[in-house]
Structures are given as structure tokens and as C-alpha cells.
Structure 1
Amino acid sequence: MNDEDSEDEWAAEAAEEAADTERKKEPPPAIGNEEFLAWRSPRVVTGGPVRLDNPLWHWLVRTRHSGYSANAVMQGPSSSHAGPVWCFDRFGKSETTLQDGRVVHVGGEHEDYYDADFHIYNDVVVIDRDGSIAINGYSPDVFPPTDFHSATLVGGAIFIIGCLGYRHQRTVGSTPVFRLQTDTMIIGPVATSGEAPGWIHGHMAQLAEDGGTIVVRGGELWLGNERTMQENIDAWSLNTATGVWTRLTTLDWQRWTMVRKDRRRNRLWDTRQERWNHDHPSLSLQSHWKHAEAPDFDALDALYRLEPAATAPEQGAEHNVFLTQVDGLTVRFKEDAWSVQAMVEGRLSDMRLGELQRATVATLEKLDASEWEIEPG
């Protein structure tokens, strides 16, 4: 990203913050405590679509208050005891603009699983061009909680593909597909066949030139509770008329995941933060290092280098992605708090692959002062 792109991004963020501040100036609805408590929490309905319009939720759609801030404004009971507050401040929510100007918002989640206001939604909120709002609810068996899906407009219907969802609703190898009729807001599952991507989320979907085929790329695949999420590197297509999935590519790339043997949280992020503090003493940043051993900066410098003289890995487009070159091939490492995922954009020889894997695991063990292993496939 160049300086001009950075300035544009900062300007866009500043504009959104200003707009958010302005939205939240709207006073809360003039409702009593009884009505607030009646609509405070997400609702489970039977069937669907069921209209769930009410002054509180409409206000929350307009203001985008978080569950916590909405509860504070309304002086409601603690979510730790009363459960999550319904809100429209969501991640993984899709927005689809129809030809008549309406914007259709589907599902999404609020906060992370450990937060008292965490909730994954299965509603459809429609905002008309005049600002009017329609909130449609569905029973979970009609439309399950859905987040980080894709929503593609095909004629008069929106095809909702994939999701992350709650753990109990996921099925390895299955790809959920739903069709939302934009005139009636009726939603239902689409029967599919062929070779589907699997339980995919965070992907991109694009309507092909034929106007009836959706092409899916990117995202991550859930492979089961005992496995780490895996990046989707292939492309897939769904024929919306027949429901047939077709795999478009089969990239023969090598990839593996490294984890601590005890499956505990690693200290990669902590070490990188300490390194930043160390390299910027003028900022007088506070240390949050809580491990018995001192941070191993030498191991951090050696990480993802097959030979000591190799060029230092470059940071990728994301802050936790690092790229290096081995035998002319790009090798990508993606870090999170529980694992390091590695991918070769091609195929190394068995000997060089083994050398790279052993060197990386050994360096991670030094850096983390713990035993690591390659996650069984």
C-alpha cells in the first residue's frame, strides 16, 4: 500500500467515524422499561418471515449502537445475567442493494464468543431508500444463524452461500446455500449436488457473465473441531438453476499447519510486540510481557529463513502474513494465537520441504520455549 492509498484509507475511516458519531446523536425511543425489556434480546420465532418491527430495534438499526452501549443508554440489566442485547453493530453481515434502491442486510454476528453480548443473527433487515426499515425474523430451522457468508443477487433472489455459524451447526464438507426471494422475503435452502467447497466462510462470490452461475473464491474452510481452519485456494462455481457445484481449479500446493503440542496459546504476537517496543525506545511503550523467559529476538529474526543468510521474510497484505522465497517458490506463513499455517505456491522437493518444516518447527520451539509439531492431516 502506497502513501496515497494510506491517506485515502485514513480519510475513509475518519469519515465513517464522523458519520457514526452523528448517527449516535439520535435520542433513544420514548418507550417504557417494560417495552424495552420485551424487545431487549434477540427473538426466536416460528417459521418466517415474521415481521419484528419495533421502535427499539429500528433505533438500533439507525444508530448502530453496540449491545453494551445500547444497554447502557437504556439502563438495562447486565448482559452477563440477562443475555445479549439485540443490535445491528455486526461483523460478517452482507449488504445487497436491489434495483429499486432497497438494501438487504443478512445475518452477521456481534462480538466474540466470550462476550456477554455475543450472538449470531439469522434475520433479514431491509432499509428502503427513504430510510424506512423492515426487520424479518426466521426460525433457526428455516434459516440458521449466518455470518461471514456471501450474498449474490441473481434475478429476483439473493443466493446466500456459506457461513461460519455456531460450532454445533457446522458439517464438515457441506456448503450451506439459501435462496432469499426479494419480493416476499421468503427464504429456503437450495438443494445442491456436485463437488462443493465445504464449510466455507469469509469468501468472495461473483456472478458470472452468464447471469446464472456464481463463482466462489478465497475464504477459509472449517475441517472439524480438531483441525485448524484452512485457507481456500481453489475456485468453485454454483449453477443457480440446477444447484450443481463444479470445482474450477485444483491447485497442487503444499501446505501444513504447525501448533504447540500442548495446544495452548503461543507467544508469537507477544514477542513481536516486545520487539516493536524494543526497536522504538523513544515511544516509551509499556511492556506486557508475562512469560518467565525473556523474549527471544534472535529466534524471531531466524523465523521462516531456511538458511541464516536468506533474505528476511516480507510482511504480506495482512499484518500476520509473512512471505519468503525457497528455490524460486513463494512460501507464505500465516500466524495466529494458536497456530502457524504454511503454504508453498507450488511444490518443493521432498528433501527441501522436510528441511523447511524441520527448521521452522525448531525455531518456533526456541521462540516459544515449548514443543511444536505439524498438525496431523
Structure 2
Amino acid sequence: MEDKNLGTEWDAEIAEEQADRRRKAEPAPRLSRKEFTQWRSPRTGEDNPTRVDNPLWSWLVRTRWSAYQANEILRGPSPLDAGPMWSFDRFGKSETTLPDGRCVHIGGEHEDYYDPDFFIYNEVTTIDGDGEIAIHGYPVSVFPPTDFHTATLLDDAIIVIGNLGYPERRVLGLTPVFRVATDTLSIHRVDTVGESPGWIHKHSAVLADDASAIVVRGGTLWRGDGLSMIDNIDSWSLDLGTCRWTRLTALDWQRWTMLRVDRKMNRLRDVRQELWHRAHAWPGAESHWKFDDAPDFDALTALYRLDEESPMPREGPEYNIFHTVIDGLAVRFTEDRFHVQAVVEGRLREDRLQALQRTLLTTLERLDASRWEIEGL
């Protein structure tokens, strides 16, 4: 029997691809070299807010070309020399629809940190029901570069909570909160008190039923330079009247981070890709395995299992997150290029916890042909 949800997702994906092709069919604006140079690069505003829309950026908002693609179309200079090009094709950007039909887009980042077009934006862009675009910039002192935040609509404002941001702008223990006025689009920092989640991003935020507070759940917490980020496992409430944070839960869960002793990038993704390649690649397709020793697929089969009787972990809908059950407790493992995080939803008996950790480290060392350790131990 056909999976209706899968069919719906497939239809939505096809519709988005068609819409994207229509967007990108719009020809580039006719700009002089001076005009292109003037507006090619990102910028901040001087006032709160500053209108900074222009034909180039408006075209990029409508088409969503990446910085690289737009720069190629317009024959611009290399970002290695000229710096990143402005783009509206962003990750971690919030979109909030207002009662008057405007859609408010806040912040977001383009590309990853190692790309020459990488940039985190501090703009607010509105698109009304007729497609009219207004782009607003702000001084960094008023609204810093913001991405992977939440945007919660109130009667006359949008409350922006959290941020990943540039490493040098993060503040340990602080949860950034801003208020965006929906009429003027001016932004003001909200000073809060109480026990906050800390520097959080990729979380969810829901307005309480009585609209008196915003409840924050999930997401990832930055713990300071040199330490890996961890999942936020608790719930938090921000009272909108008093601006006081309250911690709603304090889950007593076991969690730890495993990583290479030399802190270099691991090769878990490479092993998984090579396994897929051998099972699914067409004849003659080139393997991207770049290591001298062969991939240890037996170790991959044993990964995240305490022993041979343990169930095989299953990969959830989230990318690179694996779930299993040990001694009746749900356990999940999140793989990253530099570490693996483990979360036990409860507390394993101490001897079982130590056995699991020893087994994990041994298996990871087999897969990676390098020494691993538990961070902080």
C-alpha cells in the first residue's frame, strides 16, 4: 500500500522545484558596473532600521540565487578577493507571516564558515501580498548577525530568541532576546533575568495558551570555546510581562561526548558513504574512499550496540541521529564530523554505563583507526 505521507512529501518537493525554476527564470537587472559594485556586498545599517533595498538585492530575494551563482551570472569578482556576495539563499532564517499579509524574514546565514561567501546577516526583509520587497539593515550594536533563532509573533511584535552567530560574539550563559516592532520594524534588545537556557540555537519556541510566556524546547547549546555543543534536553519559559526566565524541567539524564584524542575530523561519514557506494553505486562509479586501510564495516555494524544481543540502532528522520534501547531506556547517538554525542533518557546502572562507554570507544577507534576519548574525562 502506498505511503500517503511519502506521496505528499514528494508532491511538495516537486512543487518547490517547479517554483524555484520559475523564480530563477527572471532575468538579471540591468546594472552599471558602478551599481553592481555598490551593492554586491553585504552591509549593515546606520539607523534602526535603515532601508537598504536596491534592484540587485530585490532580484536576489525573488530568485534566491546563491552568492556563487549570482556572481557568475553577473560576472563579478572572486569572493576570495572581494569578499562575500550578498545572497537571500540562507540557512537559519526565520519567516513570520503577519495579519496584514506581509512575510517577515529575519537574519540567516549563507554557506558554511569555510566558504568565501559565508556571511551571517542582521537584516529584516518584508515581502507583502503583492510581492513588494523592503529590506532593512541595522547597526550591529542594535541587532547582531543572527541565525538559527526563533521568531514568535505577538500582537504588535516579533520576539527573536537565540542565535548561533559568529564565535567571537557568543556570550556564555546568555540567551539573546530581541523585540521587532511589526509596524516600524525597529529592533530593541530585551534584557532578561532568571535562569535562562544559555547560548541556544536550532530550538523551538511556542507561545503559551494565555500568551503570557514563550516556552523554549530542544535545540543546541554552546558551552564555550574548546568544548563541543550539546543538546538542550530541558524546557524553559520566558515570562513576557516580567522578562524572567524559568527552568521548567531538570532532567537527570546521562550524556557525554566522544571525540578523537587529536581533535581531528573523524571518518564516520566516509565509512557510511563507502558502505552505501558498495551497495548502491552503478558499475564503474568511482569510490571516494581516500584512506590506506580498508573500511571496517563489521565495526560499523557493532556501533551503538552494547553486545551482540543488543538491537541494531535505527536512524531516525533527523540526519545522522541513531536510536536504540538499552536496559529499557531510550538512547540516542548524534554523529558529527568531529564528535559523537550520546544521550540516555534516564540513568543506566553505573557498571552498564561504563561497559557501554568502553564498547563505544573501542568500536569508534576501530572505525577511525585513531584513539578516541570521552570529553572531560
Using structure 2 for the length normalisation, give the TM-score.
Answer: 0.97
CA distance in 1: counterparts of 2:283 and 2:78, whole angstroms:
38
* SS of corresponding position for 1:188: strand
Question: Residue 276 of structure 2 aligns with which residue?
Answer: 276
Question: Residue 53 of structure 1 aligns with which residue?
Answer: 53
For structure 1, the residue ranges without an aligned partner over 5 or more in a row are none
Once the 2 structures are TM-superposed, how far is the Cα of residue 47 of structure 1 from its aligned partner?
3.2
Question: Residue 206 of structure 2 aligns with which residue?
Answer: 206
After superposition, where does 1:354-369 map in structure 2 within 5 Å?
Answer: 354-369=354-369
Once the 2 structures are TM-superposed, how far is the Cα of residue 6 of structure 1 from its aligned partner?
2.1
After superposition, where does 1:313-324 map in structure 2 within 5 Å?
Answer: 313-324=313-324
* SS of corresponding position for 2:107: strand
- Counterpart residue type for residue 243 of structure 2: G
Any idea what the Cα deviations from partners look like across 1:45-92, whole Å, max 9, x if unmatched?
323201112111111111111111111121111111111111111110
Do the aligned partners of 2:253 and 2:347 also contact (CA within 8 Å) in 1? Answer: yes
Any idea what the Cα deviations from partners look like across 1:149-175, whole Å, max 9, x if unmatched?
000011100000001000000011110
CA distance in 2: counterparts of 1:234 and 1:283, whole angstroms:
48
After superposition, where does 1:120-131 map in structure 2 within 5 Å?
Answer: 120-131=120-131
Question: Residue 244 of structure 1 aligns with which residue?
Answer: 244
- Counterpart residue type for residue 125 of structure 2: V
- Counterpart residue type for residue 371 of structure 1: R
How has the CA–CA distance of structure 1 residues 283 and 154 changed in structure 2, closer, same or farther, with 3 Å as cutoff?
A: farther
1:301 paired to 2:301: yes
After superposition, where does 1:1-377 map in structure 2 within 5 Å?
Answer: 3-280=3-280, 284-376=284-376
CA distance in 1: counterparts of 2:160 and 2:280, whole angstroms:
46
- Counterpart residue type for residue 131 of structure 2: G
Any idea what the Cα deviations from partners look like across 1:274-294, whole Å, max 9, x if unmatched?
122233466554211111211
Moved over 4 A (4+): 281-284
CA distance in 1: counterparts of 2:85 and 2:283, whole angstroms:
39
How has the CA–CA distance of structure 1 residues 324 and 283 changed in structure 2, closer, same or farther, with 3 Å as cutoff?
A: farther
- CA RMSD in angstroms comes to 1.3
CA distance in 2: counterparts of 1:330 and 1:169, whole angstroms:
36
How has the CA–CA distance of structure 1 residues 279 and 71 changed in structure 2, closer, same or farther, with 3 Å as cutoff?
A: closer
Once the 2 structures are TM-superposed, how far is the Cα of residue 339 of structure 1 from its aligned partner?
0.6
Same amino acid, percent of matched pairs? 60
- Counterpart residue type for residue 55 of structure 2: P
- Counterpart residue type for residue 130 of structure 2: D
Do the aligned partners of 1:154 and 1:212 also contact (CA within 8 Å) in 2? Answer: no
CA distance in 2: counterparts of 1:189 and 1:21, whole angstroms:
39
Q: Which moved more, 1:281-290 or 1:51-60?
A: 281-290
Do the aligned partners of 1:47 and 1:142 also contact (CA within 8 Å) in 2? Answer: no
Q: Which moved more, 1:351-360 or 1:69-78?
A: 69-78
Once the 2 structures are TM-superposed, how far is the Cα of residue 212 of structure 1 from its aligned partner?
2.6
- Counterpart residue type for residue 292 of structure 1: D
Any idea what the Cα deviations from partners look like across 1:301-360, whole Å, max 9, x if unmatched?
111111122221111222311112211111111111111100101110111101100111
Do the aligned partners of 1:200 and 1:220 also contact (CA within 8 Å) in 2? Answer: yes
